[in-house]
Amino acid sequence: MAGCDFITAESPLALSASLEADQLSLVAGQTVRFSAEGTGDRLGALVLNFGDGGQQTSEAGGARRASLEVEWVYEDPGIYLAGLEVIEFNGARASAFLEITVIPSAEP
């Protein structure tokens, strides 16, 4: 059509956070692999907190979908609450959590 411009707009994408681990119960000193994913209209960052003071941040740069794969070692026995926070540029946030149980090593 002459004189008309067509604009294609992306439909809004719901803000969400998803967090998975390859194991929820492990021996102190073993490695656990986390898979984190966030969706939203303009993502700013994914922040993965391991519950033991450790944290990993991944900048999303305005993407609509972002993911993060991280390996982590819990050195001390205990129950840890690992959490993912997905943050949009407008300040909106979504979270997901996993409870990780770490048992003592059999080694003296």
CA 21 vs. chain centroid, Å, equals 11
Q: What angle do CA 5, 12, 21 make, to 5 degrees?
A: 140
pLDDT tens digits, 46-99: 999 999 999 999 999 999 999 999 999 999 999 999 999 999 999 999 999 999
pTM here is 0.86
pLDDT tens digits, 6-36: 666 667 889 999 999 999 999 999 999 999 9
Reported in sequence order, the residue ranges of 24-77 that DSSP labels E, i.e. its strands, are: 25-27, 31-39, 43-49, 55-59, 65-73
pLDDT tens digits, 85-105: 999 999 999 999 999 999 999
- How confident is the model at residue 10, as a pLDDT? 66
Distance CA 108, CA 40 (A): 48
Closest CA to 82 of 43, 106, 49: 49
Q: Which domains does the chain have, with CATH numbers?
A: 16-103 (2.60.40.10)
